[in-house]
Structure 1
Amino acid sequence: MAKKTPQLSFNDVLSALGSQRFDVAPAQEGAKRTPGAFQVRKFGCAAEIADAGDGTVLVLARPGYVLGGEISRILDRGYQKFLKTSRLEIPATADHLRAIHEFSEELKQASGATSLYNESLGTTSDRYVYDRVKGRE
């Protein structure tokens, strides 16, 4: 029989992240920002989390590498992965992907989130864009 993992409260997760050397700070307020959101950083990567209302953690912005003060998304074009922000797009290096993967795994462990097998093997992309068939998305 599978063991049930105790659900951590949002405040417990914040203190656990702080004790594991994550930089935890209130997220910058903007037009689309959730009040009470926190930005969590480590290894040059970041994610935004907030209280889900029932005391658990809600991930607002998936983990990504920080470029120009903005959390990047991983874009997979089939032949190369790229880090993309609203203003910048650069080829992702192995060091970038390794940092994002390690950050994601440590964030899941500290927050008590489910760690999926396929995500534990390596970095997954946020968007897949292949150019094999012209004119089709």
Structure 2
Amino acid sequence: MAKTKTQPTFDEVLSTLGNEKFDVSPATEGANRSAGARRVSKYGCAAEIAPSAEKGAAVRLLVKGGWVLNGEIALILDRGYQKFLKTSKLEIPATADQLRAIHQFSEELKEAAGALVLYNEAMGTTSDVYMYDRLRGREHV
């Protein structure tokens, strides 16, 4: 018989993150701000979380974990030959160390939140946007 896993509360998740040496502060991203939202950071990476209203989930991810550039959480952009870190004002090539830090940060955040870990995400860093040469000129999601 499978054991049922108890879901931690949002306050328990914040406590666990603090014990795991994450910096926890009020959220800063304007459009995604909601009541009780927090920015968690570690290794030069950050994500924004808030309490979830859904059953079975204590945490709602407002801004996916990414490298912090000029105070803004960067998305990972994959152009096929290179991954880039992109913010609203800046785009730079991603280094292997930055990608490893993002991956480790995301794994530790998911573990503390009791979130589901998907196989393809557990294997390495996934990109937020894929923009290959053959797709140039097409709008992306």
Q: Smaller-chain TM-score range?
A: over 0.9
Instruction: State the number of aligned residues.
Output: 137
* Change in CA separation of 1:63 and 1:32 when aligned onto 2, cut-off 3 Å: closer
The SS at the match of 2:49 is strand
Q: CA RMSD in A?
A: 1.7
Please report the TM-score for the alignment, with normalisation by the length of structure 2. Answer: 0.90
Give the Cα separation in 2 of the matches to 1:134 and 1:73.
18
Q: 2:21 corresponds to which residue?
A: 21
Query: Superposition pairs for residues 93-112 of structure 1, below 5 Å?
Result: 93-112=95-114
* Change in CA separation of 1:133 and 1:50 when aligned onto 2, cut-off 3 Å: closer
Does 122-131 or 30-39 show the bigger shift? 30-39
Q: What stretches of structure 2 of length at least 5 have no aligned partner? A: none
Please report the TM-score for the alignment, with normalisation by the length of structure 1. Answer: 0.93
The amino acid across from 2:66 in the alignment is G
Identity %: 65
1:18-48 superposed Cα distances (whole Å, 9 cap, x missing partner): 0000000111263542122000000000000
The amino acid across from 1:48 in the alignment is E
Would you say the 8 A contact 2:32–2:62 is kept in 1? no
Would you say the 8 A contact 1:43–1:99 is kept in 2? yes
Q: 2:38 corresponds to which residue?
A: 38
Q: 4+ residue stretches of structure 1 with deviation over 6 A?
A: none
Q: 2:11 corresponds to which residue?
A: 11
* Change in CA separation of 1:127 and 1:56 when aligned onto 2, cut-off 3 Å: same
Would you say the 8 A contact 2:32–2:63 is kept in 1? no
* Change in CA separation of 1:133 and 1:123 when aligned onto 2, cut-off 3 Å: closer
The SS at the match of 1:132 is helix
